Structures are given as C-alpha cells and as structure tokens.
A and B are shown apart, each in its own frame.
Chain A
Amino acid sequence: MKSTVIVFPGSNCDRDVAVALEKMQFKNQMVWHKETKLPKSDLIVVPGGFSYGDYLRSGAIAGKSLIIDEVIKVANSGCLVLGICNGFQILTETGLLKGTLLRNKNLKFINKDIHIKVLNNKSKFTHKYKKEQILKINIAHNEGNFFTDTHHLEELEKENLIAFKYCDEKGDINEQSNPNGSLNNIAGIFNSNKNILGMMPHPERMIDDLISNKDGVNLFSSLLN
C-alpha cells in the first residue's frame, strides 16, 4: 500500500502520521504543499497542525492551496483520503466533506485523552474495529466543534456516515462525554462514498503502549487491506 502525507508549512503532525504509516508497512511519501502533482497512491493523509497559521478560519487557506486541487481530483475519483484534526478542517473547507468545525464550546484549546465509539465499522477505514468498540484516543484542537445543517445531519445519521462519536468510558454518548460541543457528539464523518474520512481525534498518537495505547492501530491496519 502506498500512502502520501500532504505537508503544509504549518503542519505539525505530519511526522507523527508518517511514523505510524511506516510502522504499519505503508510505503509513504511526503508531498510539499507547493507541488502540483500527486504521486500515485492508495491513501492520502491530510495531517494535523496549523496549515498556514490558521489566523483566518482553520484550514481556509489550505483549502485553496495548489496541492489541494489535486487531492480533490483524486478523492472524487475514489482514492482514500484521511483528514485528521486540521486535516478534517481542511477537507470541510474544500467541500469534500460537508459541515464545519467551530471553536470548542468552552472557547479553549483542549488536549486530553477522551473516548470515542466506532459507529460504523463497515468502511475501508474502520473494518478492523468491532462495531460499537470504545477507543481511548487523544484530541488536541481549538476548533473541533462539528456543526452542519439539519438536512446533512439527518443524512449522516440515516446513511450511517458517522464514523465515531464522543462517549465516556462506558460508551455513553451524552453531553458530559462531549468534549467540544459537537452536534450529536460527532467526532468523525465519511463522505457518502465512504472513501473520505475526517476526524478530530489523533489515531497516529495511539500506536504505542509506551506512549499511550494501541487504539489507533486498527484504523491504519484497516486501510492495508
């Protein structure tokens, strides 16, 4: 499996996700944001960070960058695309995913380990997880509060396009287990073809027991086959 990580000048999780991909035996390449061509790959990752500083709306400038036009093209032709954190924000800016990420409800940056539940394990990204499996995973964002219109929200719920929802240790999905105010506790969504996943939590931070846990491993291994 070949993967490509897009590197914006302010990306700061690009190395972390590359380490995770290589650990899982992906053949990975880093591609600079000024490039206008993507190498042939099976998976494109838009990593976390602060793409172009994000002094404007998060991901707004990245959504108009040179390389992102190419990402849109291959995504529309079915290539797998994973956007993590700032990558999720960028994907919503391009329109590849609908909805948007508002500032966290408490108006503060939040970094901690929280829990999410796998709602849909019938996708190329999640099939190695059990349905309703609870994962302990790290979040680190200032704008992770998912918002969208009623119509899209209905579609997400009905068509099973919600990958993960925030929950507590026991799996309860409620206001207390919602760290940032996201609509319906949404932590990650697919597009309707399910070849694009955007998620706020960081699976690449959860691949090593010494540092955290291995709850992120299955996301990458799902993508391997």
Chain B
Amino acid sequence: MKITSQIIEKHGLKLEEFANIKKLLNREPNLLELGIFSAMWNEHCSYKSSRIHLKNLPTKGKQVIQGPGENAGVIDIGDNDAIVFKIESHNHPSYIEPYQGAATGVGGILRDVFTMGARPIALLNSIHFGSPEHFKTKSLLNGVVSGIGGYGNCIGIPTVAGETKFNETYNENILVNAMAVGHAKKSKIFYSKAKGLNKSVVYVGSKTGRDGIHGASMASAEFDENSEEKKPTVQVGDPFTEKLLMEACLELMKDNSIISIQDMGAAGLTSSSVEMASKGELGIELELDKVPCREENMTPYEMMLSESQERMLIILEDGKEKDARKIFEKWDLDFVIIGKTTNSNNLTLKYNNKIEGEIPIEALASKAPIYDRKWIKKKKPKKSEINLKDLKKVKIEEALIKILSSPNHSNKSWLTNQYDQSVMCDTVLKSGSDAAIIRIHNKDKAIAVSVDSSANYCKSHPITGGKQIVCENWRNLITVGAKPLAITNCLNFGNPENQEIMGEFAECLLGIKEACEFLNYPVVSGNVSFYNGTNKKNIFPTPVIGGVGLIKKLSNPLNHIFKRENSLLILIGKTFGHLEQSCFLKENFSISEGMPPEINLLNEKNNGESLLKLIDENLILSSHDVSNGGLITALSEMSISSNYGAKILKPKKLTNLFKYFFGEDQARYIIEINSNNLPKVEKVLKESDVYYENIGFTQKKYFEIEGELKISTKDLFKINNEWYNNF
C-alpha cells in the first residue's frame, strides 16, 4: 500500500514529520509502521510541545523516590511506606462518550498506580463542564459522574475528593481528570525499565478488541463538527476485569518474578512495549499471532493500535512463568508469552513468522520530535471597571447568597453520594472538606489529598494563576493538619500551535515551578492534555494540581466545621481586599476582568508552616483556607455543616465592607480556637511574624456580621444545597 499524504494526515502526522520518519528508517514505512509512529509521535504520548517546558519543573527532594517518567510518581512517608500517585486527563473521550470516557479514565490511572506495586487507596477527580444552561451540560455531567462512580465503586477503591466546576469555556470540550493514590512498601516498587536479553514478554489481562484504535491520536487533535463520529475511538471499561488484574498483579508482585511491568494505556501494545525497551536500551520482538483477541481477523495494525482496557505487559525473570501463569489462571485472566527482549534495539513485529514491521526503538522514543513552539507573553489584563459606588448597589446578604447558591459553590453531595467514599474503611475525611484524609491501613498515620484548579486566574495572568493553584493546594493540605509533600499535575490547555495558547502553557508552568520550588513541593508525575477546544475556540488554561501530604500521627483529625460555642475565630494572613477576578464580581456584576490576587510566596510558606505548628500543638479546633468567595464565604462554609455559626465583628480599620469580606487575597486561613489557648496561639504567631486578626467568635445557630447580616445556619445549609437538586 502506497502511503499517500491523505493517509499521513489521517494519522495526525505532519508531512515534515513523515519526511523525518523516512530519514530515520532509511525507507518508506509500511502502514503498520506508520500507525506505530503516529501512536508514539502524537502529542499525547510524545509530549513533543511540552517537554522543553516540563523539564524546568522541580522534581527532586528528600521525599521523592521516583519523579516523572515512570507510570506514576513515588514519595517516601517513612517506615518503609511509600505513596504512589498520578493524575491523568480523559477529556476528549469523555466529551464523546461521557460514561465510558470517564470510567476508563479512572481505570487507566488506577493501572498506572498498581503497576508500580501499590495497592490503590484513594481516587480523586477534577471535572469541568460548560455553562449549566448549555444543552449538553446536564447529560455530560450525569454520564461522567456515573462513569467515575461505576468504575471506582465496582473495583472497590474509595473516591474521596474532587472538584466540579462550570464555565462556558468548556461548553464543547469538558475536562475529566482522574487521580489515583496508592500505598506500597518502599522496598517493593516496580518499574517499567526492561533488563536482560531473551526474557519473556508476557501479555496479561483482557483480550484485545478493536476499541480505542487511535485514541491517543484523537486526544491530540481539536474537535470539529464531526467529533461525534469518533465514538469508536473511545474505549470501553470493565472494572471487574480491572479488579482481577489488580489482584493478580499485586499477588505476583509478592515475590521477585517481575523484571519490568507496564500497563497498556494510550497507544496500547505499541507504547507499552516501546517504553519498556527504550528505558532498558534493548530491542523487543513480538509475535502478534499470539496476542489474545476478542474479535476475529484482527490485523497487526489493529492489535498494535488498539486501546482495549485492562491489559498489562510484563517481562518475567527466567523460570518464573509457571508460577506466574498459575496466579493469572486463578483470576481467570489471559497469560500469554507474546515475545522476548532482544539486542537488536528494534521493535520487531512478526505475524505468522513473517516480519510485518521493524522500527528502531530510538526512532519511536528518544528521536521522537521535540518542538520549541513559539509563544508570546500574556499582556497584563486591564483593570476591571467597578467603582465603590456600584458596590453599594448590592446588599451583603444577597451577594453571599448568590455565591453560596451558585453552581460552582453549591454543595456537591448530589454527585459525591454516587461515589463509594467509605469502602476500605480508612476514609477519615471525605469530599466537602478542604482535603480528604486517608489512614494508612493498620497504622496510625495518614495522608491528606486534594485537587485544585483556578482557570479564571490562569486565563487572566498565567504566571500568577500557576503559582496560585500550587499555593491553594498546599493550603488545603495544611488546613487538615498534613505536611504537604509533593504534587502531580494535569495540564489542560488549548492548541499549542497557537502562540497565545503556548504562551499560557509556558507561563502557567513558570508559575507552578516558582511556587513548587519555594514551597519544596516537587512535581513527581503528571500529564499534558493539549488541543482542548473546538473549531479554534480554546478552553481557558486549566492546570490541575493534585497534592499529597502526610499526617504523622492521626489522633485528632481536623476539618473545617465549627466545633463549639464561644470559641475564638482568628484570621491568619493579611486582607487587602482584592476583588478583581473574584466570585463576588462574577456572580453579582458579571465582571471577570483584571488581575488575580497577588501571590506572596514568603507569606504563604510562613503562614502555612505556622498553622501547622499550631495544629501540632493541638491548639486548633477547626481550620479552613480562605479562597474563592473570600472571608465571608469561608466563614459560611464553616457554619453550614455545623450546629454553630459565628459572630463576626466589623474590623476597626475598614476600607470597604465588600473588599474586606469578598476579597480573594491569598495565604489566609481561618482558625477556631479555645479562648483559653489564645496566649499560646498568639505566641506562636508572633514568634513567626505572622499577621493575624481576631475577627469574632462562634455562637449557636446563627451566622452573623455585626450590623450587616444575620442568617441561620439552617438557612445557609438550604441555600447551599438547592442548586444540584433542582438542576
């Protein structure tokens, strides 16, 4: 078959890239080889546009066992315990087929974690939908939520935290990011690097079908009006088989049979075999007639490009086949030796003893294209035009109600109740908190996890936005008493061939880098998703940060709910009254211009670490970070699920009531303390030079701002709970 320019384009490759392929092979590729190049060289697998920026991120630290480049990142939490985690996007498939797209997103990220020898202990997600009024939003929301639940509930891993946001920028390109967290023994981590010649390459798990062919290429292109036709490229998930595969792999990992293991995710058999061989600087030979197929007459091309789920590739030590086979047979899974490692440095594909394709591994991996795409700096946004007179047109109570009843701030139990959050019996704190807390099984320590994003901030000023999400994520872990250790990131952006979009990417990353470096909060894994957009309309830049922190001794888990009457409320951090880019202006005046709040990393670090000190000394009853919606929203959230509200006194030096209560200045926390402990608390804060204010005290039943507002906690609850139930 002659490779025409149409065929090349259909494979998502540029003509220059094809010329490059010919040069690397010294000949024209056949169709199978072209398919393999397209699978390995697409944006999703090769990171060709992002790589030069990603390499600037801080990835090292005392706590890091494995940084980016493996199936997932690994960090040390002491006592031979390690935490393995990663976040990944499944945006394009979820828009086309929401249930299966979201479900296989969860399945894929779980495999990344148990491939490394970890038992998954928690799932998180960050999902972004278009405007609630958009005709597709409701069905997409329903499908995605059932898909996430359907997979996690069946396999029996609790879905413990997440964020759900609505913004018209996602009308035609939703975001579905799934994060998985696992626990492993530090001495028993498994990697994908192949070692040794003539070792058996074993295929385990589900059979290969025609689903998901070219899925990764789909994820590397923009949508257009024909996107619906791409349904066949979406994979179909089978959580039951994944459960079998997980248990079988973890059972096999108990002894020393495995040299290398890699899940078949995007680009299936192709990327898994190339990955293992490339890391081990070896060749790999596959006999494709041995691949277990679920459909008849599958061609080598289809087998190599299928993205059928729940499959793994394992390289076994000599003589371990019999025992390994026994384990997979126990779990009723296929176990077939389909090839071996070689010293040829080629990917060799045989079918009925005939070589159907042969490509140097380095052509697929290290020689894959890397682009230093042009990008332009974002201009500083213009100031938002709101004057103090306009502010007075709204009442503080109405403004608060608008925020608390808005889709982005409403209580999300409608969806979180569809996820099993309690299975495994180690969920200490679940969705609806600043971060979730998961106990390490059989131990008295725990981890805290949270996912966060701020697309509006990133859109208006990417560097500040990038810094802000890292800081917010860091704060969320601190408020529940955890020491933040490391992050994973999912970078959702538009078309990188557009210089503005590439600029958003580069600058967000600069912000993330700066904050991570300053906070000693390295990036250990992640994923880039470009081409989020339809017909040239790109989504807002939406990097999502998933953070993990450690609670060394879990005796008094902390949350944000007011605990008792007459405790003192202290606001840590300085309030300047930054209203630009705030929920207040957006919900009340439909204004979304201006700069995001400034990030002062020094204050972030100092305020956060000082709060951790207070928590360690057992001086805190409840704590909450102040973020979207400002001080008043944070205080309401602390009252909503509690029997107690608060009485807030008007600050003495007040510039403007709205700025004070709705401003979104960063590095702030609210803490509830026993009044007897005030001297001790003040001592710690003064010693560390932390700015703080006494803002009031807790009281029964009512949330009140002196002279401005009084509303019962029951009413707050109602206001906060209506939107989803009426949607």
Contacts and interface: CB of A to CB of B under 8 A. Distances in A.
Report which residue of B155, B239, B240, B428 has the largest number of chain A beta carbons within 10 angstroms of its beta carbon.
B240
B422 A55 contact: no
Interface string A184-224: 00000000000000000010110010111000000000000
Interface stretch (A36-44, A45-53, A67-75): A45-53
Contacts of B554: 210
Contacts of B424: 15-16
A12 interface: yes
B423 A12 contact: yes
Contacts of A205: 422, 425
Interface in B381-439: 413, 417-428, 439
Nearest to B414: A108
A50 B419 contact: no
Contact of A212 (B330, B331, B422): B422
Contact of B156 (A12, A53, A111, A138): A12
A142 B439 CA distance: 26
Contacts of B426: 211
Main secondary structure of the interface of A (DSSP, over half): loop
Nearest to A111: B420
B238 interface: yes
Interface size class of B (residues with CB under 8 A): 20 to 34
Contact of B243 (A12, A112, A202, A212): A12
Contacts of A50: 153-154, 156, 239-240, 243
Contacts of A48: 423
B244 interface: yes
Interface in B219-257: 238-241, 243-244, 247
A109 B149 contact: yes
A187 B419 CA distance: 20
Report which residue of B156, B421, B426, B557 has the largest number of chain A beta carbons within 10 angstroms of its beta carbon.
B156
A54 B243 CA distance: 13
Contacts of B428: 210-211
Interface in B411-470: 413, 417-428, 439
Contacts of A210: 428, 439, 554, 557
B332 interface: yes
Given A210-B428, A211-B425, A55 B417 contact: no
Interface string A1-41: 00000000110110110010000000000000010000000
B146 interface: yes
Interface string B110-132: 00000000000000000000000
B154 A10 contact: yes
B243 A9 contact: yes
Interface in B33-92: none
Contacts of B154: 10, 12, 50, 53-54
Given A53-B238, A53-B240, A112 B417 contact: yes
A140 interface: yes
Given A9-B244, A112-B417, A211-B427, A138 B439 contact: no
A110 interface: yes
Report which residue of B424, B427, B428 has the largest number of chain A beta carbons within 10 angstroms of its beta carbon.
B424
Nearest to A51: B240
A140 B238 contact: no
Contact of A9 (B150, B331, B420, B421): B331
Given A111-B417, A111-B419, A204-B425, A10 B439 contact: no
A109 B420 CA distance: 8
Contact of B425 (A19, A49, A52, A53): A19
A142 B417 CA distance: 11
Contacts of A19: 425
Contacts of A111: 153, 417-422
B121 to A, nearest CB: 12
A200 B511 CA distance: 49
Nearest to A17: B425
Contact of A52 (B150, B155, B240, B427): B240
Contacts of A138: 422
A104 to B, nearest CB: 10
Contacts of B238: 53
Nearest to A212: B422
Interface in A123-154: 138, 140, 142
A13 B332 CA distance: 20
A49 B331 contact: no
Contacts of B423: 12-13, 16, 48, 140
A16 B557 CA distance: 21
A45 B425 CA distance: 17
A210 B438 CA distance: 11
Contacts of B243: 9-10, 12, 50
Interface in A87-120: 108-112
Report which residue of B150, B238, B417 has the largest number of chain A beta carbons within 10 angstroms of its beta carbon.
B417
Contact of A55 (B240, B244, B439): B240
Interface in B140-184: 146, 149-150, 153-156
A111 B426 CA distance: 15
A88 to B, nearest CB: 16
Contacts of A53: 154, 238-241
Contact of B418 (A55, A110, A208): A110
Contacts of B557: 210
Contacts of B422: 111, 138, 140, 202, 205, 211-212
A168 to B, nearest CB: 16
A212 B421 CA distance: 12
Contact of A109 (B153, B240, B330): B153
Contacts of A108: 146, 417-418
A107 to B, nearest CB: 10
Nearest to A107: B146
B153 A140 contact: yes
B65 to A, nearest CB: 26
Interface in B602-622: none
12 contacts: A16-B425, A34-B330, A53-B241, A54-B154, A109-B419, A110-B418, A111-B421, A112-B413, A142-B153, A202-B422, A205-B425, A211-B426
| Top-5 shortest CB links A-B | A12-B156, A53-B240, A140-B420, A50-B154, A16-B425
Given A48-B423, A108-B418, 7 more contacts: A9-B240, A10-B243, A50-B154, A53-B240, A138-B422, A211-B422, A211-B428
